[in-house]
Amino acid sequence: MTRNGKPNPGKPFPALVIEDVWGEAMKSIPPLRIRCWSLIAILLCAVGSNMPAEPVPVRHAEGTIHGFLELRSEEGHVIASGDLIRVARGDQVTTHTLFHFNDGSIDDETTVFSQRRNIQLITDHHIQKGPSFPHPIDMLIDRRSGQVTVRSFEKDGKEEVRTDHLDLPPDLANGIVPLVIENIPPGSPETTVSMLVATPKPRIVKLVVQSRGEEPFSVVGSSHEAIHYEIKIDIGGVAGVVAPLVGKQPPDIQAWVVGGQAPTLIRERGPIYPEGPIMTIERASPVWQDSAKSGD
């Protein structure tokens, strides 16, 4: 894990290099309050976790759907519209989520997973590019073969392609975190899954999902309740020591799920890329021209 008291090199976050992280952190604590997010992002990938890797059992099988999404800024402005298309063929499901941003940016993710007894990732291809993403990325994961290909881009536009073969855990949740949350048994206090992050050298971190109870909401004046989940990033090790010193922890991701016979994620809040602002994803409803004219 360490060499001469320092984390191993070669574990950066996008466009960041983790060389002598511990020494640099200790030397730079006062100014780090301005750029502490970068440090925590680096440290997030610098330390692994010993939590067990167990896939989440299927409690609610997925079917074929086409849903509409909206992405809002912290100020509440809609900055992107999205489509969620899911096609089920037997016990294999393909999900395609595509966000078109007002500034022309794209967040495009296609995920294939199996829902035979457990939810298990097969492949995930995630692309983020455009002005909204300071570190554009193109990452393809094949969990069964362990091959991970990452295309990253520097500020000068230079492209770097890296292919690694990793021992990927069975609970890898890239592209299927909403499904994992929807299949958590009611009353379960905590669920832990793995996540692969592009660094550009891929690294595995842990997501700890905890229930925060139920919260009320309404739909067209009708009252409902949703289970509020909080997703924490497990830093641990050296990072867990340094993070409090710089006065900043990676923000938790918030998610709300309607329970019952068909649990559904209806809201998610958090950054959509490292160091990014807090954004909210919600399901959108269509607006018809005749309804707008009549004032309904």
Q: pLDDT, tens digit, for every residue of 132-158?
A: 998 889 999 999 999 999 998 776 777
Query: Residue 27: which residues within 8 A CB-CB, separation 6 or more?
Result: none
Task: Confirm whether 94 is domain-assigned.
Answer: yes
C-alpha separations of 124 from 66, 74, 149 in Å: 19, 28, 11
Task: Confirm whether 288 is domain-assigned.
Answer: no
Q: What is the pLDDT confidence band of residue 63, given thresholds at 50, 70 and 90?
A: very high
Task: Confirm whether 295 is domain-assigned.
Answer: no
User: If you average pLDDT over every residue of the chain, what do you get?
Assistant: 80
What domain count does the chain have?
1
Q: What is the pLDDT confidence band of residue 287, given thresholds at 50, 70 and 90?
A: confident
How many Cβ atoms are within 10 Å of 173's Cβ, its own excluded?
28
123: pLDDT strictly greater than 90: yes
Task: Confirm whether 36 is domain-assigned.
Answer: yes
DSSP state of 208: E
Task: Confirm whether 84 is domain-assigned.
Answer: yes
Can you say how many angstroms the Cα of residue 19 is from the centroid of all Cα atoms in its chain?
A: 25
* C-alpha to C-alpha distance for 248 and 197, rounded to whole angstroms: 20
Q: Give mean pLDDT, residues 219-242.
A: 78
Run of H or E residues at 26: helix 21-27
Tell me the per-residue pLDDT of 204-222, one tens digit each, with 9 for 90 and over.
889 999 999 999 999 988 9
Of residues 25 and 167, which shows the higher confidence score? 167
Coil, strand, or helix at residue 53? Answer: coil
Segments forming the whole domain that contains residue 66: 2-282
Tell me the per-residue pLDDT of 30-40, one tens digit each, with 9 for 90 and over.
333 333 333 43
What burial letters (b/e) apply to 121-151, b meaning 16+ CB within 10 Å? Answer: bbbbbbbbbeebbebbbbbbbbbeeeebbbb
Task: Confirm whether 17 is domain-assigned.
Answer: yes
Q: What is the 3-state secondary structure (H, E, C) of 221-286?
A: CEEEEEEEEEEEEECCHHHHHHHHHHCCCCCCEEEEEECCCCCEEEEEEECCCCCCCCEEEEECCC
17: pLDDT strictly greater than 50: no
* C-alpha to C-alpha distance for 114 and 102, rounded to whole angstroms: 34
Tell me the per-residue pLDDT of 244-264, one tens digit each, with 9 for 90 and over.
444 456 689 999 999 888 999
Task: Confirm whether 290 is domain-assigned.
Answer: no
Run of H or E residues at 179: helix 177-182
Strands of 102-134, DSSP E? 106-114, 118-129
Task: Confirm whether 230 is domain-assigned.
Answer: yes
Q: What is the pLDDT confidence band of residue 54, given thresholds at 50, 70 and 90?
A: confident
